[in-house]
Amino acid sequence: MSIRHGILALLAQGPRYGYQLRAEFESSTGSTWPLNIGQVYSTLSRLERDELVTRVGADDEGRFVYRITPAGEDDVRSWFATPVARADRPRDELAIKLAMAVTTPGIDVRQVVQAQRTATLRSLQDLTRLKADGPPLPADPGDRAWRLVLESMIFQAEAEVRWLDHCETYVARIEHAEPRAEAPAPEPAPGDDSGISHTSKGGRR
C-alpha cells in the first residue's frame, strides 16, 4: 500500500488535517507503518498538485484541513478495486538469503534454515499470544484494523514455517542426489607385491 492511497482513503471519510491523518493512518494499519508528519504533508502537497485533494481552510487552531476531490474519490475507488500484484510487493529478503546460501560454498544451508525456523516459530508464538489476549470482535475501529493486521502476520509466519520445512527437504534431496567422490586407492607399501598380478610374477608365462 502506498501512503498516497492510505491518505486518500482516510480523506474519503471526511476532511482532515495533517496530524489527524498521521494518527489515523497508523491506527488503521495496526501501528505497523509509522509515519512522520513530513511524509504526510509532502504527500498532501503532491495530491493537491494532482488535484486529488484540495485545501479547504484551517480549523480553530490554525491547522490546514484537506478534503478529497471527485477525482481523488475515483482514484481511491480504483485502488480498492484493483488486486495487489505480487510484483508490486517488496522483495523477500529471506528467499534471497536462502537462494544465496545454496550457491555459496562453505555455507551450511540446513543450519541457516533451522536458525530461521526457530526465530519464526518464536515470533509466531508471540503473535498467537497477542491474538488470544484480545477480543475476537473488537468494538473500536482501530482495534479491528490491528486484528486484521495481526492475523495477516500470523498467516505469513505459518506459511514461512511450512516453506522452511520444504527448503530443508529440498536441500536434503540435493545432497542425496549429488555424486559422492570416491576415495583414491591406497599406494602399496614398499616390498608389498599384493597389487602385482600373478602373471607378472616370475616373468612371463
CA 146 to chain centre: 18
pLDDT value at 179 more than 90: no
Instruction: Estimate the crossing angle of helix 93-103 against helix 109-133, to 10 degrees.
Output: 160
Q: How large is the average pLDDT for residues 145-164? A: 92
Q: Among 59-63, 98-102, 158-162, which is the least confidently predicted range? A: 59-63
Q: Among 53-67, 93-107, 140-154, 189-203, which is the least confidently predicted range? A: 189-203
> 3-state secondary structure string, 131-186?
HHHCCCCCCCHHHHHHHHHHHHHHHHHHHHHHHHHHHHHHHHHHHHHCCCCCCCCC
Residue reference for cell 471527485 = 70
What's the whole-number average pLDDT of the chain? Answer: 84
pLDDT value at 77 more than 60: yes
Quote the pLDDT of residue 177: 80
Ranges 84-88, 94-98, 112-116, most confident = 112-116
Calpha distance 45→190 (Å, rounded): 89
pLDDT value at 56 more than 50: yes
Kindly state the percentage of the chain with pLDDT values over 90. Answer: 46
Quote the pLDDT of residue 31: 66
Quote the pLDDT of residue 28: 77
Quote the pLDDT of residue 67: 97
Using 50, 70 and 90 to split pLDDT, how confident is the model at 204?
very low
